[in-house]
Amino acid sequence: MLLRRLYLAAATFASASAQIQLRWSTDLGANENRTYGPDGPWQAPLLKLNDTEMPLWPGGSGVSEILTKSVGGDYTPRRDTLKTGTSRAWSDGWFASAFMGAGWAGMEASDGMVIDSRMGTSHEIKVNVTLVAATSWNSSTNSDTTAYTPTVGTLGLGPRSERHETAGPGILEQLRISGDIDRTAFSVHMGSAALGIPGSLVLGGYEQNRALGQVGTFALQDSIPVMFLRDIIFDFQIRNQSFYPIKSNASFWTNPTDLGMQYTKYVGGAAGSAVVIPNPASPYIYLPPGICEAIAENLHMTYHNKSGLYLWDTDLSAQLFVNQSAYLGFVLADSSATNITIKVPFQLLNLTLEPPLVEQKASYFPCQSINSSYGFWQLGRAFLQAAFLAVDYESNVTYMAQAPGPRMEQSIVKKFDDSAISTNPAKSFVTTWGDAWDKGQVFQSFDTGDKGLTAGGKAGIAVGVIGAVLALVWLLRRRRKQKGPGSPPDAVDKAFLWLNGKRGKSQRAQVASQTSSMAEMGGNGEMHMRYQAEPKVLRERSHVSELDSRSPLTEMGPPLSHEIGSTDRHPVRHEAPDDHMVYEMPANSERAHKAQ
């Protein structure tokens, strides 16, 4: 611990005013445009070890997991690589392995890593990295899902554990000491390889154009970003042009498990909310039981037993729906109990499964219901396609904001300081997504049946036919209206009614216009934890705040009707406890599934 403090003290004298933007596998000028599956396509930052470039998911662990050739990677320890002789497994400090049900295992070592900046530098940036030379991918469950070995390791950007007295500084600490960055912090936006949204990983800073509107501030607890998820809503950004969902403008929230509610109380969250940890190293969105099932049922999805995931329907209606402005809104309460909603468009939630997870390619929904044995859940890469995440270890805070769409604005790299994160306007969300929604491009469906015309060809013909029919109907009805209101009905009216009947076969339910319709839950605050804070509750019937909403919340009052709650007032603590939370290796997590 003393050695680490001496390093940090020396860093204050280093002259630094820089940030490092890492290169990504899909960047222009990369050796090859690489994406990763079999549940992507994903894009990843690139780092160099032993002159070999390799992809790594960024994360908050103090240890990196590097894939050796025995598991399909490119890393081979050199003769001068320092080997500690310690065997390690499940080293991700943000619990990716617990939710994936498997993790890397291998021998611990220390080796040199070269960081190539996207913009180039005048000198080589090199750090010593503590790593696990992964030689196996070990599963902890006996589930029926198909096992596969990932092809991407992890980059540990967190501080080295203070439990190791002789541990050297972490990657960010070394970069600050050398003057390559001026703050031990990083930011990430995963972007989308499928939609051409470049990824962003900035060490020591962030890109302003990656954060839109309101920024939520959350506490780091034992170097782990802890957030409170209060609701999940389904809505359209512009207007509902589809009859495909059974219901829209609705909440799909269900109360977390008993363990989840107890854990939320312990860390100071509002009753009925769930603790979540964002993590780029996890692929999916992991939620309390019942939520993914309800969303999948609303969208006519099919549960796939071998992957444990839900598959999109292959008909034209599903493809047209995905390309509209529909989104899932994740309502998070920050450390001031202010709501921030992260909108994840369904274009980002239409990913591709490949063998060995499926026999043939299939479009899937990256959401899994987990009966977590920890009492908290995880927002993985699928969520971070649409969210900006920043971690500042010096201020001990995490930031989250809405991320842009494919038509993002000019990059402006900023450094972290003690002031608020600079963001682009909230309205940029619509402008950066508008073109993608307006084009209405039909995604390819992967149909294993007819070998004749391709799915894309069928979809194109169907879109053309429907467009022509609707245009003709509109023109004829317009001409009829010009005849006057007393004109007799004709065959066009009957055809129009028939067509609407066919499109409306999903029998959409009428729902309230509010963003949520949760049942009240109990909870009178009888369980008192060691740490308590000033009571704060939310104003009655306040709607989920839009991105630019900065309205302060009242100190006392009934809870939001669309939030979790009862009519009782509950004390909510907004700061992390002074003591460190103790985590154990998880027991087998039971995954809740809907029967096919």
Residue 349 is part of a domain; what is its CATH number?
2.40.70.10
CATH number assigned to the domain comprising residue 30: 2.40.70
- My answer on whether 223 and 176 are in the same domain is no
- My answer on whether 438 and 548 are in the same domain is yes
Quote the DSSP letter at residue 463. H
What is the C-alpha separation between 85 and 108, in angstroms, rounded?
Answer: 7
What is the C-alpha separation between 444 and 245, in angstroms, rounded?
Answer: 20
- My answer on whether 477 and 496 are in the same domain is yes
Whole-model pTM over 0.85 = no
- My answer on whether 367 and 393 are in the same domain is yes
Mean pLDDT of the 468-473 span: 55
- My answer on whether 270 and 332 are in the same domain is yes
- My answer on whether 573 and 489 are in the same domain is no
- My answer on whether 343 and 418 are in the same domain is yes
| Residue whose pair of structure tokens reads 């071998």 in the numeric block | 306
Residue 400 has pLDDT above 80, yes or no: yes
- My answer on whether 433 and 487 are in the same domain is no
- My answer on whether 133 and 224 are in the same domain is no
Neighbours of 500 (CB within 10 A): 10
DSSP percent split of the chain into helix, strand, coil, nearest 5: 20, 30, 50
Q: Is residue 200 part of a domain?
A: no
Q: Is residue 593 part of a domain?
A: no
Of 503, 523, 540, the position where a domain reaches its end is 503
Q: For the segment 434-463, what is each residue's pLDDT rounded down to a tens digit?
A: 889 866 544 444 544 333 444 444 444 454
- Neighbour-count burial for 41-63, b at 16+ CB within 10 Å, e otherwise: bbbbbbbbbbeebbbbbbbbbbb
* Domain boundaries, position 494: 455-503
Is residue 467 classed as helix, strand or coil in its secondary structure? Answer: helix
Q: Is residue 126 part of a domain?
A: yes
CA 250 to chain centre: 21
CA 569 to chain centre: 31
- My answer on whether 264 and 362 are in the same domain is yes
Q: Estimate the crossing angle of helix 491-503 against helix 455-482, to 10 degrees.
A: 140
More confidently predicted of 18 and 36: 36
| CA proximity to 61, closest of 132, 138, 151, 133 | 132
Residue 367 has pLDDT above 50, yes or no: yes
Q: Is residue 590 part of a domain?
A: no
Domain count, the chain: 3
From 93-97, 350-354, 387-391, 448-452, the region with the lowest mean pLDDT: 448-452
Q: Is residue 450 part of a domain?
A: no
From 18-27, 559-568, 576-585, the region with the lowest mean pLDDT: 559-568
- My answer on whether 40 and 147 are in the same domain is yes
pLDDT of residue 162: 52
Q: Is residue 448 part of a domain?
A: no
- 3-state SS string for 224-239: EECEEEEEEEEEECCC
Those residues with Cβ within 8 angstroms of residue 329's Cβ, 6 or more apart along the chain or in another chain: 231, 232, 233, 234, 235, 341, 342, 343, 344, 515, 544
Q: How many CA atoms lie within 13 A of 28 on its CB side?
A: 3
Query: What are the residues facing 130 on neighbouring strands?
Result: 110
Q: For the segment 245-268, what is each residue's pLDDT rounded down to a tens digit?
A: 988 889 999 999 999 999 999 999
- My answer on whether 91 and 52 are in the same domain is yes
What is the C-alpha separation between 52 and 429, in angstroms, rounded?
Answer: 37
Residue 513 has pLDDT above 70, yes or no: no
Q: Is residue 241 part of a domain?
A: yes
Of 486, 503, 520, the position where a domain reaches its end is 503
Q: Is residue 202 part of a domain?
A: no
